[in-house]
Structure 1
């Protein structure tokens, strides 16, 4: 395997960013609710959006942690489905990618 230090650094930076986002979302969710019914409706909608963003961030964090583990195990850059190398351009765009583009397309369409 090649040296994946640049990908590891990108993954760690993205991980820090997402952890900050998750913390900020948790802080926003802890704010007391308004007594005004119109504001409560907006706050409920905001809560739903925050929950969706939180879920997405946590899922990406999990994928990043798995990618970091693959680096440690010298399995990074190999498709988890077919075992073929993942294109460097794909890894640059999505450093936590676990599937090559062909397998990812098959998974999305199937």
Structure 2
């Protein structure tokens, strides 16, 4: 199996995981809240956390989709800022990253 296939599988696996997580978050946010004021306040705080997790998940999904597009375009592994190759170690850790470590550090 070549590295492109490996990265595609990693990205698709993470995409499926995030999709499942976002559906669970959505379900929890749709649940009816308690009529008790104190419990409702705690539930509201929990909802805010869930909404933030959902937002973070959506942002990661966007990065993964962009990485999958770079795979299709044949530019995956090239830094979108400077054009240098992104190290295999960095791609293994952050397969959706569009930036090499030097450009990421400059952000």
For normalisation by structure 2, the TM-score amounts to: 0.97
Give the corresponding residue for 1:98: 98
Give, in whole Å, the separation in 1 of the partners of 2:91 and 2:46. 33
Unmatched runs of 5 consecutive residues or more in structure 2: none
Give, in whole Å, the separation in 2 of the partners of 1:74 and 1:3. 12
Give, in whole Å, the separation in 2 of the partners of 1:34 and 1:105. 45
Q: CA deviation at 1:72?
A: 0.3
Q: Deviations over 1:33-74 (max 9, x none)?
A: 100111111101001100100000000000000000000000
Unmatched runs of 5 consecutive residues or more in structure 1: none
Q: How many pairs align?
A: 106
Give the corresponding residue for 1:22: 22
Give the corresponding residue for 2:39: 39
Q: CA deviation at 1:3?
A: 4.3
For normalisation by structure 1, the TM-score amounts to: 0.94
- Let me know the Cα RMSD of the aligned residues: 0.9
Give, in whole Å, the separation in 2 of the partners of 1:3 and 1:74. 12
Give, in whole Å, the separation in 2 of the partners of 1:3 and 1:55. 30
Write out aligned runs for 1:1-110 (5 A).
3-107=3-107
Structure 1 segments of 4+ aligned residues over 4 angstroms from their partners: none
